[in-house]
Amino acid sequence: MNRLLDKSALFLLCAVWYLQNIRDVYAVVPLLTAVIIGAGMSLFERENLRRGLFGGYLLFCLLVPSAVYFLPLICYDVFFGEMRWLFLLGIIPLCAALPSGGAKLLGWGALAGAVAYFMRRRTDAFEKLSRRALTVRDDAKETELRLVAKNHELLEKQEYEIRLATLTERNRIARDIHDTVGHLLSSSILQIGALLAVTKEEPMRQSLQTLKSTLSRGMDSIRADIHNLHDQSLDLRLEAVRLTDAFRFCPARLEYDVENNPSNNVQYVLLFVLKEALSNIMKHSDATFVHVLLREHPGFYQLIVQDNGHAPAVVQHQGLGLQNITERVESLNGRVRFSGDNGFLVFVTIPKGAGI
């Protein structure tokens, strides 16, 4: 756009000077020729075509000396780039037109040529700055997107660490309660039982029996709470992430699409299958990548573990590991399929509500 404005201004400047000095019935011919050649110089990007147009206009100036008035317009496109020294050839038709135009034409050529040169230089500098600004803007946008993605990743990792720490602490509390309070209550119940065996007085026996019943109920309540804490400390996503992150044989990518945690029995089976499948890949496969998919469907849970290696023998001669996978899955009314056609594949589906 800036080059078009520059050439339009140059054309008007050249046309005004031309019409003031040329009074001829064919004066429109050099004007139209300059417009056509100038438009072609802007339209064509191939240097050979532009050189041809420039050379053709120089020959036209030798044939029609009045066309020299528009020479600065044509030289605008050759001041820079591979054609930058060709503008010196414009001196030839300018000198050839001196007898008819005189010193005034020479002064006009020098002045208009200088104006065209500085206009082109200014436009090139502006376009270079514009390209640099666009590059800086694109780099800044790319950096911003990377930072947003990194921030999102850090937030997810932070949530993961918080969730993991919460579940670990919950599991530790359950274990501590079991090891301390549970043992103390069990010991107290046994001691009361021993006292009941040696106590003969009926009122004392009734009191001890009441105390034993109370402690037994407390023991049952604590045992239920411990089991609840332990159940709540199991998270399918965290455990799946932990297993895939710990897999060092080759890169493994986990795709997790489960909104609600399934029952503990289903979680245990899915995690067992995942662990056993990864173990088989390490032992028998030559894979360089593993894809793990855990997905929740309306009626069932799906687990797919697939690598890009070759392990058909493992599928044909199922070992103890694959047999255990089959038994665990079928115990929950699920289905399992193994394949070695396009890499080692374990495909498991377990219906919702299984294991409750």
Highest mean pLDDT among 173-177, 197-201, 280-284: 280-284
Residues 125 and 6 in one domain: yes
> Is residue 18 within 8 Å of 31, Cβ to Cβ?
yes
Mean pLDDT, residues 312-321 taken together: 63
Using a pLDDT cut of 70, give the percent of the chain over it: 72
Residues 7 and 91 in one domain: yes
Residues 242 and 292 in one domain: yes
Which burial class, exposed, middle or buried, applies to 10 when counting CB atoms under 10 A from its CB (0-12, 13-18, 19+)? buried
Query: Given this model, what pLDDT does residue 56 score?
Result: 76
17-74 pLDDT per residue, tens: 767 776 776 777 777 777 787 777 777 767 677 777 776 777 777 777 777 777 777 7
User: Which of 174-183, 210-219, 275-284 is predicted with the least confidence, judged by mean pLDDT?
Assistant: 174-183
Residues 50 and 103 in one domain: yes
Mean pLDDT, residues 274-292 taken together: 85
Structural tokens at position 26? 């064919």
Residues 9 and 125 in one domain: yes
- pLDDT top residue among 199 and 110: 199
Residue 153 lies in a domain: no
Mean pLDDT, residues 193-197 taken together: 77
Among 207, 232, 257, where does a domain finish? 232
pLDDT above 60 for 195: yes
Q: Can you tell me whether residue 99 is helix, strand or coil?
A: helix
Query: Given this model, what pLDDT does residue 35 score?
Result: 77
Residues 258 and 209 in one domain: no
Mean pLDDT, residues 170-182 taken together: 69
Query: Given this model, what pLDDT does residue 143 score?
Result: 85
Residues 30 and 111 in one domain: yes
The torsion angles phi and psi of 254, rounded to 5 degrees, stand at -100, 130
Residue 143 lies in a domain: no
Residue 136 lies in a domain: no
Mean pLDDT, residues 310-325 taken together: 69
Residues 120 and 23 in one domain: yes
Reported pTM: 0.45
Q: Which domain holds residue 66?
A: 2-131
Residue 201 lies in a domain: yes
CATH number of the domain residue 175 falls in: 1.10.287
Structural tokens at position 262? 């399934």
Residues 108 and 33 in one domain: yes
pLDDT band at residue 246, thresholds of 50, 70 and 90? confident
Query: Given this model, what pLDDT does residue 293 score?
Result: 92
Give me the torsion for CA of 9, 10, 13, 16, rounded to 10°.
-100
pLDDT above 80 for 252: yes
- Closest C-alpha to 266, from 351, 168, 338: 351
pLDDT above 60 for 315: no
pLDDT above 80 for 338: yes
Among 206, 232, 258, where does a domain finish? 232
Under the phi-then-psi rule, with left for phi > 0, alpha for psi from -120 to 50, and beta for the rest, what region is 322? alpha
pLDDT band at residue 303, thresholds of 50, 70 and 90? very high
User: Which of 4-8, 80-84, 116-120 is predicted with the least confidence, judged by mean pLDDT?
Assistant: 80-84
Angle at which helices 236-246 and 98-177 cross, to 10°: 110
The torsion angles phi and psi of 247, rounded to 5 degrees, stand at -80, 110
101-125 pLDDT per residue, tens: 556 666 666 676 677 677 777 777 7
CATH number of the domain residue 252 falls in: 3.30.565.10
User: Which of 50-59, 83-92, 134-143, 347-356 is predicted with the least confidence, judged by mean pLDDT?
Assistant: 83-92
Residue 87 lies in a domain: yes
Residues 16 and 47 in one domain: yes
Which burial class, exposed, middle or buried, applies to 329 when counting CB atoms under 10 A from its CB (0-12, 13-18, 19+)? buried
Number of domains forming the structure of the chain: 3
Amino acid letter, 355? G
DSSP E strands, the chain: 252-257, 290-296, 300-307, 335-339, 345-351
The torsion angles phi and psi of 22, rounded to 5 degrees, stand at -115, 120
Mean pLDDT, residues 167-196 taken together: 72
pLDDT band at residue 14, thresholds of 50, 70 and 90? confident
Relative to beta strand 335-339, strand 252-257 is: unpaired
Residue 272 lies in a domain: yes
pLDDT band at residue 229, thresholds of 50, 70 and 90? low
Residues 225 and 259 in one domain: no
Residues 253 and 218 in one domain: no
DSSP string, 253-290: EEEEE-SS---HHHHHHHHHHHHHHHHHHHHH---S-E
Mean residue pLDDT of the chain comes to 76
- pLDDT top residue among 199 and 89: 199
pLDDT above 80 for 337: yes
Residue 28 lies in a domain: yes
Residue 341 lies in a domain: yes
pLDDT above 60 for 162: no
> Is residue 10 within 8 Å of 76, Cβ to Cβ?
yes
